[in-house]
Amino acid sequence: MAALIRALTYATFFIGFFLVFLPARVLEISGVARPQRIGPTEMVGATVTVVGGILALWCVVAFALVGRGTPAPFDAPRRLVTVGPYRWVRNPMYIGAGSALAGAALFYRSLPLLAYVLIFAVVTHGFVVWYEEPALRRLFGEEYEVYRRRVRRWWPGLGAPRR
């Protein structure tokens, strides 16, 4: 239970800053306002945002319940998480967060917010490649190497995980 509370606390700060506060500033600075009419484009954007948010939250809960830790680098899981969405892709939390942002960009029809999504994706990729993956190799050793060879980094495998 303590791991879940820690994970949800971390997620609240991460989501609050990177997925709410900064995007709101981007929209404010670029002069984008809430749509006057909710049409099909806005509905698709809202749906993508909600699905991305649910995926990210599912990952946070998996980190706490299975990994006994949080997504925060200073309170990493004690066990490698390879279940739930991690069965199909190694970074579903970032995919969920990026999808939520992309859905918001579509909802607001905002090119500046789309640019933020692209910056988020590039920075996240760099963080994963240069910090997170080496840290996971050190922490989990061969178990992580087997997982890394079996599951793709960004693009989910359809059906059974690759061998």
Condensed to tens digits (0 to 9), the pLDDT of residues 1-60 reads: 777 788 788 878 877 888 788 888 888 888 888 888 999 999 999 999 999 999 999 999
Whole-angstrom Cα distance, residue 92 to residue 135?
18
Q: Position of tokens 């910090």?
A: 131
124 has a pLDDT exceeding 90: yes
pLDDT at 33: 84
Contact 82, 92 (CB under 8 A): no
**Contact between 79 and 66 (Cβ < 8 Å):** yes
Question: Can you give the pLDDT at residue 34?
Answer: 86
The pTM of the whole model exceeds 0.75 = yes
| Region for residue 160 given its phi and psi (left: phi exceeds 0; alpha: psi -120 to 50; beta: otherwise) | beta
Query: Pick the residue with more confidence: 30 or 99?
Result: 99
Half-sphere exposure for 57 (CA within 13 Å, toward CB)? 8
